[in-house]
Structure 1
Amino acid sequence: MPTGEVAVVGGGLIGLFSAHYLLERGYAVTVLEAGSGLGGGAARVNGGWVCPARSDPLPSWGVVRDGMRSLTSPGSGSFLLSARALPRVAGYLARFLASSSKGRFLRSWDDLDLLNRRTAGLVDELVEAGIIDALQDEGFLMLHSTRDEAEASRASLLAVSRRGLCPAPEPILERQALLELEPGLGDAAQVGFVHRGDRWLDPSRLVDRLGESLASRGVRPVRDTPVLALRQRGTSVELATRSGVVEASHAVIAAGAWSEQLLRPLGIRGYVTPGKGYSFTIHPEHPPTHVLRLGETHVGVTPMGDRTRVVGMVDLDGTPEGLHAGRIDVMKRKAAPYLSGIDWRASTDEQVGPRPMTPDGKPLIGCAPGAERIVVATGHNMLGLSLAAPTASLVADLVAHGPAAAVPAFDPMRFTDRRR
């Protein structure tokens, strides 16, 4: 039976799921959270999608094009760069560009599927255990203004279905059939289709239920305790905090967008860079019953009980915090033609959450070099909710078995010059 206590650095989705699977293995767990409550960062500020079929890596030529356009026209795309931030994110962008070729994109997607093939089964187990509830599966409604756009979108998802992670998309529907499904659609929603297989939930509810489950099983969350540094000494790990040193048998770095400052002293250059995602709540006259994907806008709409959340954007301004109201305005302008019966001025819960972005769109999961008792689990880009369960299961394997359990595709050292 495992002995010792594992210190998990970060109370976001990856940290909380890691605590769950470590408990399942018989470890004692302490969660060290920098904020005042669990579920900081992007854990609550997301679309709530458990979406293996939509888990392709971000780096691609289309996203590179969006980023370049945004330098001169900030409202033109979904991947936004700030000219003032370029010096701070130059290392990330150089490696992002190198990862954006078609061949690299497809290889990274294959690697992500190594995790995603386990997502559905693990999520089903968590539903059966009562940790996940209110998981919705009515389908994603893909909306477009022209039939050509809809056919191209459907062909893309048909190709995705051949990867074996989702069914084929349903036939294309015209305007009247769409209105029968969703009466609150605007004039831009002329054609579309339903795509099933991916599911969604309320991420805040998930964080709360997971936190309650962990507490009931003895996990000790230590709030307002940022970890400043950590090192392995013999058979233990020391974690330095403002209030003193915490000792554990193992540590897991799951600090999301703030992980890079802990990785560099360990010899890992992960280039984990915050990419801000925005969300807000609208109050439609006819609340949707499907997740809505709004054409080429890269804006999504998720029904969450009595709320309707709008999500979108990757804002790469080099900082993990700070909401730019102009980004919300851009999302509203893009979404408005697709939806009717909404007072856009009455939106609420405007939020921003930093996603931990990596240059190749894949997470960093593995043991630190020369310190196998320190496990890295960060850099999940926009896929934290979808990849949380399989990542955390792998984390438990790494704590139990060390580097022997590593998956080379997610090597935390893959961007590091090993000659240093």
Structure 2
Amino acid sequence: MGKVVVIGAGQAAASLVARLRAEGHDGEITVIGAEAVPPYQRPPLSKAYLLGEMDQERLYLRPRDFYEAQGIELMLGTPVTAIDLSARTLIANGEMIGWDDLVFCTGSEPRRLPAAIGGTLDGVCVVRTLADVDAMAPRFTKGARVLIVGGGYIGLEAAAVASKLGLKVTLVEMAERILQRVAAPETADFFRALHSAHGVDIREGVGLGALTGAGRVEAAELTDGTKLPVDFVIAGVGIVPEVELAEAAGIAIENGIRTDATGRTSAPNVWAAGDCASFPHKGAQIRLESVGNAIDQAELVADNILGAGRAYEAKPWFWSDQYDVKLQIAGLNHGYDRVVVRKGEGTCSHWYYAGATLLALDAMNDPRAYMVGKRLIEAGKSPDPDAVADPATDLKTLLK
């Protein structure tokens, strides 16, 4: 079998190479990663790891000796600088490496605050890599004043950790409300109340005007004229797919590295999976930024490198942990026109409908609703909204 080279050493890469070996690929496999550590979990970085509840070794998706035992070469701390598609070679750390199949698992990178508004001052942080969190962790001291820019899930999770550690937290969201791009007003209301109850100062419809300080950030000026003293800032303003290397090689880009339903890019024997890859879904070219997608798409690509010829059928699911609330999301809510609220004792779920069609749900501390809703969405079934809203309805009966 041919040599498979994977660029990127995150969740998608780890899943892909493990699948290749499990399915019998006996050719060479090389994983090239810019970070100096083996593939690791990212979600716990800003939660359990930052809180000190998980050490670095537990972050690793596989122990280091797994890769050695499986004959998988890890080239870590080694950025790829050039790709020659016609010669099927690439340059990494000055070394030319050949490949028969190449896979982009380059993931995504955080959007950063512009230098023009003080985004490069010391103390302006992002949350993406192990190094990011290690650099930021010493700033999380009780009583420190942190400004979080962005009211999406990244910003809200950072706010929850900071609040739990006793920091004074202000969160600004320039849109009309938090979670405006990804969730219904009902879900935003739930999490706004949750954070307010924990002392987080949430300011909506207010952006960041500028950060000021002598070398390090000392104050923030908001667009409403407010000036806040700050000890550090966390930018949680979204992520963008890592496509520069693929684009420079001449590979088609469309909302990420464009793939077909099998994971193939526009170049022969070149594939992509995970955050960096877009794929056809219901008439659009979409990307999914989630662990579940990284695993499923990577395993599909591994199978297709081995000749399976399968098409990707996305089953979107996501989660977020904030304080003692576990949010579980199934489906995609794009195009919803109605939200059905179901409340239980200590639980809540929001069901998104477009007409009579169930699209997605947000379940807060309600794993039963999540599991039932996910199965319904994947089966293309849409229960009566009134039955969903009725707390007397046994959700399992909706599956029949």
Q: Report the TM-score when normalising by structure 2.
A: 0.38
TM-score, with length taken from structure 1: 0.37
Tell me which protein shows more helix as a share of its residues. Answer: 1
Higher RCO (CA < 8 A, seq sep 6+): 1
